[in-house]
Amino acid sequence: MSGVTFSSRVERLEGGMRFHVIPIPEDIAESFRSRKLTRVIATIQGQPIRRAIIGSKEIGPHLVLGRPELKSCGIAFGHPVTVRLEPDPEPEAIELTEEFLEVLAQDEAARERWEGFTVGRRRSLAVYLTGVKRPESRLRRALEIAEKLRTHTLYGDQPPRVD
């Protein structure tokens, strides 16, 4: 399957957490789901972004966009958009900061725990790690996450079992 292009509009989910989204026509979403393709490269206004096709009762299939993506695409709530969806050739790719990679190279316990996480868990932590611009802030976050990995104090962690 190659890509498909469609027109949509930037909308906002109002229930629970408020996200900006781009609805995807049901037939297009189904053409990806039927091939078990949920990770896509969404080219929005010419800007490629890695995303997952998400479904909800409120709005149906859609792409979630944060402020950085809205800004990089030059779009906002209510704007019409042209979107091209293509299967992500590297669905497990995760963008990490150089600072975090260096910390993992030096902290064996944190690296082992990191490598044991699912791709989804790593991806959600990567969002936090890459969410700041300044190198000092990226290093601070890298050290913070490594410490929490090592000490099992990430949100939702259970202490390691001692048998």
Distance, CA of 77 to CA of 100 (rounded, Å): 33
Q: Which of 1, 148, 7, 133 has the alpha carbon at shortest distance from 75? A: 7
pLDDT value at position 131? 85
Quote the pTM value.
0.75
Q: Please check whether residues 77 and 125 belong to one and the same domain.
A: no
Distance, CA of 148 to CA of 44 (rounded, Å): 36
Q: Please check whether residues 76 and 135 belong to one and the same domain.
A: no
Mean pLDDT of the 58-82 span: 91
Last residue of a domain, one of 37, 63, 87: 87
Angle at CA 8, nearest 5°, toward 7 and 12? 165
Distance, CA of 43 to CA of 84 (rounded, Å): 5
Q: Please check whether residues 82 and 116 belong to one and the same domain.
A: no
Q: Please check whether residues 125 and 52 belong to one and the same domain.
A: no
Residue 16, in any domain of the structure: yes
Residue 157, in any domain of the structure: no
Residue 163, in any domain of the structure: no
How would residue 1 be classed by pLDDT, with cut points 50, 70 and 90?
low
Q: Half-sphere exposure (CA, 13 Å, Cβ side) for 60? A: 10
Q: Please check whether residues 69 and 106 belong to one and the same domain.
A: no
Q: Please check whether residues 36 and 59 belong to one and the same domain.
A: yes
Q: Please check whether residues 43 and 108 belong to one and the same domain.
A: no
Q: Please check whether residues 16 and 73 belong to one and the same domain.
A: yes
Q: Please check whether residues 82 and 15 belong to one and the same domain.
A: yes
* pLDDT single digits (tens) 80-104: 999 999 999 998 889 899 999 999 9
Last residue of a domain, one of 66, 87, 108: 87
According to DSSP, the β-strands at 19-23 and 11-13 are antiparallel
Residue 80, domain extent: 4-87
Residue 132, in any domain of the structure: yes
Residue 161, in any domain of the structure: no
Number of domains in the chain: 2
Residue 143 amino acid letter: L
Residue 158, in any domain of the structure: no
* pLDDT single digits (tens) 10-48: 999 877 667 899 999 999 999 999 999 889 999 999 999
